[in-house]
Amino acid sequence: MEPSPREPPPRASQGLYAVPARYHLTLHSEGRGCRLGSVSPHADSGARRFRLSPFGRVARHYWFQVPQKFLALRVLATEIRPTGLEALVEVRTEVLRPPACGAIDPDPALLREAVRWFKAVTTAAYARGMQTRGWAALSGLVWERSYERLLLRTPQALSAAIDRFAPRPP
């Protein structure tokens, strides 16, 4: 019995490599604890105010270095929350070639590698800060092992995702 040929990746079979792929990524801190910052009322107005922790500042710094390290990625929007990071990213198709039939779709592999690098470098940088700057130790793991990735297939899905990142009144 002859093996069946592998199907091309979903985006290739739909001819979607002519347009950039946009993804909504969500990375959570381990146990969804408030490792990246805290929310407290402002002294004068009582409005809620988010303050980045030292680890949150490290995460913000390295997140904006992702496009410099992974040239095919572009960060469209980012929101750092006490329990993690959400971002809209675009895979620039002019940098990537569409995969041949039977090849692995490059988008998830590229995103997986970028997220792996980001988690490793932020964890290492925070460990250095604990030793050299006296930052508080974080118990256990820093990031959850997995992350959420949602391909935004339509302009409406992209628009809805962008609305999530719009400033909200306090």
Per residue in 131-157, pLDDT tens?
999 888 877 788 999 999 988 888 888
Residue 65 is predicted with a pLDDT of 95
Distances (CA, A) of 132 to 51, 85, 125, 128, 136: 22, 25, 10, 6, 11
Q: Helical H runs in the chain?
A: 10-13, 54-63, 66-69, 106-132, 155-164
0.75 exceeded by pTM: yes
Residue 32 — pLDDT band, cuts 50, 70, 90? Answer: confident
Residue 54 is predicted with a pLDDT of 93
Domains in the chain: ranges and CATH: 12-164 (3.30.70.1290)
Average pLDDT of the residues in 14-36: 79
